[in-house]
Amino acid sequence: MDELPSYAETLNERQREAVLHGKAPLLILAGAGSGKTRVVTTRITYLIDRLSFTPDQILAVTFTNKAAREMQERVDRFLEERGRDAGSAVMIKTFHSFCSWFLRRNAAAAGLSPYFGIYDDDDALALIKTVVPGHLPAGEVRTLQNAISRAKDDNLTPDDDLGGISAHPEFPEVFRRYEEKLAASGNVDFGGLIQKTLMVLHREPAITSRLRQKFQVVLVDEYQDCNGAQSLLLEALYGPQTWLAVVGDDDQSIYRFRGADVSHILNFPQKFPGTVIVRLEQNYRSTGAILEVASQVVARNQGRLGKTLWTANPVGRKPRLVFHNDQDDEAAWAVDLIKRAPLTETAILYRTNAQSRAFESALVRAKLPYRLVGTVRFYEREEIKDVLAWLRLLTNSRDEVSFQRIVNKPARGLGKSALSIVERHRTSDWLDACGLALGELKGKAKAGLGQFLDLYAQLNGALMNCRNLSVLVQQVIEDSGLGEHHRQNEDLGEAKEQNLDELVNAAAPYPGTIEGLTQFLENVELDAAGTLDEQPGVTTLITMHNTKGLEFDRVLVTGLEDGLFPRDTFDPQEIEEERRLFYVAVTRARQELLFSTCRSRLQHGKYQDRAPSRFLAEIDPDSLEVVGAGGRGTEIWAVGQRVFHDDFGVGTVVKKWYNGSELGLDVRFDSGRMGRFMPAYTPLEKVAADE
Residues with a known catalytic role: 36-37, 221-222, 252, 588
DSSP per-residue string spanning 361-418: HHHHHTT--EEETTS--GGGSHHHHHHHHHHHHHH-TT-HHHHHHHTTSS--S--HHH
Contact 224, 255 (CB under 8 A): no
448: amino acid identity, one letter = G
Alpha-carbon distances, residue 241 vs 44, 201, 213, 556 (angstroms): 17, 17, 8, 48
Question: Helix (H, G, I), strand (E, B), or coil: what is residue 75?
Answer: helix
Residue 122 CA to residue 189 CA, distance in Å, equals 10
Burial of 269 (0-12, 13-18, 19+ CB in 10 A): middle
CA atoms lying within 13 Å on the CB side of residue 1: 4
669 forms bridges with which residues in the sheet? 651
Query: SS3 sequence, 180-217?
Result: HHHHHHCCEEHHHHHHHHHHHHHHCHHHHHHHHHHCCE
Give me the amino acid identity at 91.
M
* SS3 of residue 566 by DSSP: coil
What length does the chain have?
691
Instruction: For residues 566 and 111, give the distance between their C-alpha atoms in angstroms, rounded to a whole number.
Output: 46
What is the DSSP secondary structure assignment for residue 252, as one 8-state letter? G
- H helical segments located in 65-189: 65-81, 95-105, 107-110, 121-128, 138-153, 171-185
CA quadruple 396, 398, 399, 404: dihedral positive or negative?
A: positive
Cα–Cα distance for residue pair 181/159, rounded to 1 Å: 16
- Classify 77 as helix, strand or coil: helix
**Residue 526: closest CA among 126, 194, 211, 129:** 194
Q: Which residues contact 451 (CB under 8 A, 6 or more apart)?
A: 412
Strands (E), 300-378: 320-324, 346-350, 370-372
CA angle 196, 199, 202 (to 5 degrees): 150
Task: Name the residue among 83, 64, 261, 245 with its Cα closest to residue 155.
Answer: 261
**CA-closest candidate to residue 656, choices 675, 629, 637:** 637
Crossing angle of helices 95-105 and 514-526, rounded to 10°: 150
Q: CA triplet 621, 626, 630: central angle to 5 degrees?
A: 125
